[in-house]
Amino acid sequence: MSATARKTAPNAEDIRARKGSTPLVSLTAYTTPMARLMDAHCDFVLVGDSVGMVLHGLTSTLGVTMEMMVMHGQAVARGLDRAMMVIDMPFASYEHDPAHAFKNAARLMAETGAGAVKLEGGVEMAETIRFLVKRGIPVMAHIGLTPQSINTLGGYKVQGRDEQAKAVLADAHAVAEAGAFSVVLEKVPQGLADQITAEVAIPTIGIGASAGCDGQILVVDDMVGFFTAFKPKFVKRYAELGPQAEAAIAEYASDVRARSFPADEHVFADQAPSKGPKT
């Protein structure tokens, strides 16, 4: 099942039209089962390159490949009927030049059925965003803390305080004017996020920004407590499924070692049970 074949899913223009309306709801997904759980509740689902850290144990998103994004995008598409699917362009798949970006964006959309791609960067990526949009590739922008630039940003720091604010604001205006249909604001001070939301004509999607943004997104494994290596300040844990799962695994291991699992109800008799005479 491809996202483009789904009749009820919103498209980029539908998301753009939600500016200043009911806040947009989004989460990341990397697998079919998780996509199914969030489909009825999210306006769009992001197949994030955070999959590298969350599911593959990488220390950053830089090692995520196009092949990984295609695989996880296809898995998520199978779990969606209602929500729009947006997919991250991985590191080094779009920065070289606009034509290279178009080739990879077109591949991601064609092979996964995504309704849009997301890429990181502001002023420096405006030309690429404009190039993609003119050729039919809807783009969600991502500014503020851009994890693919972690080596040049000096860590996962708040972006846009003091003199940095002018640069982040310029990034927001640049991506909006280039044709992005929305923009993610990551780890941006609340006041600046509110200013950007008021000034740009496209929806702002906050992650560590402000409740005043036009929408919010979180990494689902952070939100439900599956990913426990660290917890960003901006994450609210709505469940603690990681510890619950570990407790269940420990109980299973204990039952196996005690030979209390499998019990009689979990195994099969040597003879098939009689079905009895037909009446």
- Interatomic CA distance for residues 47 and 26, integer angstroms: 11
The position carrying tokens 């070692």 is 257
- Interatomic CA distance for residues 130 and 132, integer angstroms: 6
- Interatomic CA distance for residues 57 and 229, integer angstroms: 10
Amino acid at 218: L
Please enumerate, as own/partner, the contacts of 196-203 that have beta carbons within 8 Å and a separation of 24 or more: 196/168, 196/169, 196/172, 199/169, 199/172, 199/173, 200/172, 200/173, 200/176, 201/19, 201/176, 202/16, 202/19, 202/176, 203/15, 203/16, 203/18, 203/19, 203/24
- Interatomic CA distance for residues 41 and 202, integer angstroms: 22
Rg (CA), the chain: 22
186 is a catalytic site residue: yes
Give buried/exposed letters for 240-274 (b at 16+ CB in 10 A, else e): ebeeeeeeeeeeeeeeeeeeeeeeeeeeeeeeeee
For residue 4, the Cα-to-chain-centroid distance in whole angstroms is 18
Q: Is 24 in contact with 43 (CB distance < 8 Å)?
A: yes
**Closest Cα to residue 93, out of 72, 75, 117, 110?**
117
Select which of 67, 186, 246, 265 is catalytic. 186
Give me the active site residues, please. 186
